[in-house]
């Protein structure tokens, strides 16, 4: 069985705390994105997606740093012994944030699909109306002589 020092526990705790903070920021952006979608503010929505992507990149970097520590910790605590309450609590909070963000993201995707379908229907309706108007306009002469006589 490997040893896992107090310094290792502290380093892992700090890394997980940093990850948790970034996950919370990601969730907050995902919540804001729902509001932006409801307000049809697509430009701000896209900016928010860019911000979230940057946070995800930061999370990936932190996770690469914490993964070896976490593997050592899991190995050290196999069998349920020597578990650290702080690390367990941070892991639980990270999982909760991931679940909430995932659910919110799925809701945003569904909202976007519905809005896209609505926009497609509206465009189709306008195209149909324009075709109807186009057919009517073809039956009306539009030569300059006709307009001159009418005015």
What is the model's pTM?
Answer: 0.75
pLDDT digits 0-9 by tens, 22-43: 999 999 999 999 999 999 898 9
Q: How far is CA 16 from the centre of its chain?
A: 21
The model's pLDDT over 55-109, given as tens digits with 9 standing for 90+, comes to 999 999 999 999 999 999 998 888 778 899 999 999 999 999 999 999 999 999 9
Are 36 and 48 in contact by the 8 Å Cβ rule? The answer is: yes
Residue 126 pLDDT level (bands cut at 50, 70, 90): confident
| pLDDT tens for each residue of 77-89 | 887 788 999 999 9
Instruction: Please report, to the nearest 10 degrees, the dihedral formed by the alpha carbons of residues 7, 10, 14, 20 taken in order.
Output: 140
């Amino acid at each position: 069985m490997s040893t896992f020092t107090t310094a290792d526990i502290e380093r892992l705790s700090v890394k997980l705390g940093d990850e948790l903070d970034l996950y919370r920021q990601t969730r907050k952006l995902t919540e804001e994105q729902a509001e932006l979608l409801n307000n049809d503010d697509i430009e701000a929505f896209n900016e928010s997606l860019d911000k979230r992507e940057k946070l995800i990149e930061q999370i990936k970097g932190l996770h690469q740093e914490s993964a070896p520590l976490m593997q050592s910790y899991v190995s050290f605590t196999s069998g349920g012994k020597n578990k650290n309450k702080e690390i367990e609590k941070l892991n639980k909070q990270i999982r909760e944030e991931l679940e909430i963000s995932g659910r919110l993201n799925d809701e945003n995707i569904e909202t976007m699909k519905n809005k896209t379908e609505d926009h497609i229907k509206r465009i189709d309706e306008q195209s149909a109306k324009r075709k109807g108007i186009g057919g009517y306009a073809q039956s009306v002469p539009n030569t300059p002589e006709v307009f001159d006589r009418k005015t």
